[in-house]
Structure 1
Amino acid sequence: MNTREWLEALVAFDTTSRNSNLELITTVRDSLEKQGITPWFAHNKERTKANLFATLPATAGPEAGNTQGGIVLSGHTDVVPVDGQDWATDPFKLTEKDGSLYGRGSCDMKGFIAASLALTPEFLQMPRLRPIHLAFSYDEEIGCVGAPAMLEEIQKRGIKVDGCVVGEPTSMQVVVAHKGINVFNCKVHGRSAHSSLTPQGCNAIEHSARLICAIRDFADAYKAKGPYDQLYDVPFTTMTTNQIRGGIAINTIPDLCEFTYEFRNLPGMSAKEIQAQVERYAREELLPKMQKEYPDARIDISTIAGSPALETAEQEAITALVRALTGDREQRKVAYATEAGLFQQIGIPTIVCGPGDIGNAHKPNEYVPIAQLERCEDFLRKLGRSLQTA
């Protein structure tokens, strides 16, 4: 199948993160097995989702059959919901219009996966001295929670890799750095009471508001004082509270309030230290006030998801290679997070480069220009040919 045919097949699978991706993953596995490749899966605990990893061994010279080294082509199979969005076409049916292909995930990021799969037969015919690896993950869109299972298995199997390209939409431009993302859930437990007897209660919503405002204060301090990196469109670490739920009635003091917050840290800033200041405020400032009202009051903070920041040096071989193949010499850093930081965390030098514009991701009528897919195919062919030399 060519890239368009693969993309049509991939978009047809509703792999919204709340759903299983197994039907898509097994379709990819079956195709690879027919070509003599044996992928392996790394499942979630419920075995309802899976990462896929496959190696196309070296094909030439004394290294023929070698599975170590080489380059990983990485992409996530899940997509964001279409709920409440006004689509002009069926989001799970690939539609061509004005030189672009529309459908959920066409840009973010099934286009890159489709191109990688379409080029696989060519890769297998190339006289390569080093392997190519395919790494397709689940649940990237909800905090990069799927890929760690695959990366853990890579380490267990002793697989060594020279570099990785994560094909997130960058308009086929080279991205060498991005922020980290860290997402937390907070449950503030107070005591309920009739609202006419306010002193008998401990208002979980009001105390949550204090913590939420403290998080905003931390965010304002980063905005005002830095540190800064002006290569980012948002050149400082950000912190936001994005969901909140609490209360059962207008005349009842709430005993529980639950909210989620996130921060996106610049490379070099410790995520642990940023989180520590939130927990310190909760423990040392807020909780004592709550326990004066209700001795059993408590604040529970748990991690939902997290992915480290990425910063790949210009001196890394993968950076030099991808810059040479694309002709792109500009240094770019982005505020959104990807799985690239996870690969780098286990010692695999990684850059981000893929078809489509991130500005089209997650929106209704998501699309990828056909010209971008063609550029991606050209890049992948050049990448494969670069592995023909030691």
Structure 2
Amino acid sequence: TPPEEARNAIVAAAEDVLRLREFDWGPIHPRLGRAHANITIIQGGIAHNVIPDACEFCLDVRTTPLESHAALFARLNEFLQSELTVRSDRLVPVETPEDSPIVRAASAAAGERPPAGSPTMSDMVFLAGTPAVKIGPGQSIRSHTPDEYILESELIEGAAAYIAIIRSYFSAAGETMT
């Protein structure tokens, strides 16, 4: 095939990557917003003078409880030209009802701060329906970054929050703690 007629796999992948800006990521969750994705890896080509016949990219998709992985995958599969493969579908979004005792305890300990959502992965997904909250020291914006860190003052504040949540949770259940 003459070079001007050859299909360039990198160009085809790039077109799909750009099309993702136009994709409808579904309904807006009140705490998490919409599902979203980021291209985290792209690989293609074998030499500077060979038109690439293959290109792969990794789409890190973060979903919400409002749409199943299967439904979102089906919509993405129809929208994009690329062949899609699910790497893992076991990490589903989870949500704990606001009237759950653990949420009430965390809210009481947080004081003025209202409950919020987190678009990042946590071990909550493995608790199989057990009411849980995700809380930790530091600022979420620094999570999953190359230089992730927390300040000593944030660690101390976080430990105090854990104690307050535990006390609130057990006092609501009629237990006393010393």
**TM band (smaller chain):** 0.7 to 0.9
Q: 1:323 to 1:243 in 2, by over 3 A?
A: same
Question: Are residues 1:367 and 2:165 paired?
Answer: no
The offset of 1:237, in angstroms, is 2.3
**The residue matched to 1:352 in structure 2 has which SS?**
coil
Higher RCO, 1 vs 2 (CA within 8 Å, ≥6 residues apart)? 1
8 Å CA contact 1:312, 1:351 repeated in 2: yes
- 2:22 corresponds to: 217
- 1:185 corresponds to: none
Q: 1:256 to 1:323 in 2, by over 3 A?
A: same
**RMSD (Å) for aligned C-alpha atoms:** 3.2
- 2:133 corresponds to: 351
The CA distance in 1 between the partners of 2:79 and 2:65, in whole Å, is: 24
The CA distance in 2 between the partners of 1:280 and 1:323, in whole Å, is: 41
TM-score by length of 2: 0.74
**The residue matched to 1:252 in structure 2 has which SS?**
coil
Q: What are the residue-to-residue correspondences of 1:76-91 with 2, within 5 Å? A: none
Rg larger in structure:
1
**The residue matched to 1:331 in structure 2 has which SS?**
coil
- 2:49 corresponds to: 251
Q: 1:238 to 1:249 in 2, by over 3 A?
A: same
**The residue matched to 2:21 in structure 1 has which SS?**
helix
The offset of 1:306, in angstroms, is 5.6
Point out the structure with the larger strand share.
1
The CA distance in 1 between the partners of 2:66 and 2:160, in whole Å, is: 34
- 1:207 corresponds to: 12
The offset of 1:259, in angstroms, is 0.8
The CA distance in 1 between the partners of 2:148 and 2:108, in whole Å, is: 33
CA deviation string 1:54-87 (max 9, x = no partner): xxxxxxxxxxxxxxxxxxxxxxxxxxxxxxxxxx
**The residue matched to 1:255 in structure 2 has which SS?**
coil
Question: Are residues 1:335 and 2:119 paired?
Answer: yes
- Is there any run of 5+ residues in structure 1 with no aligned partner, and where? 1-192, 288-298
The CA distance in 1 between the partners of 2:148 and 2:106, in whole Å, is: 30
**The residue matched to 2:40 in structure 1 has which SS?**
strand
- 2:71 corresponds to: 273
Q: What are the residue-to-residue correspondences of 1:94-105 with 2, within 5 Å? A: none
The CA distance in 1 between the partners of 2:69 and 2:61, in whole Å, is: 8
- Alignment partner of 1:310 out of 76, 94, 102: 94
TM-score by length of 1: 0.38
Q: 1:244 to 1:215 in 2, by over 3 A?
A: same
Q: 1:309 to 1:205 in 2, by over 3 A?
A: same
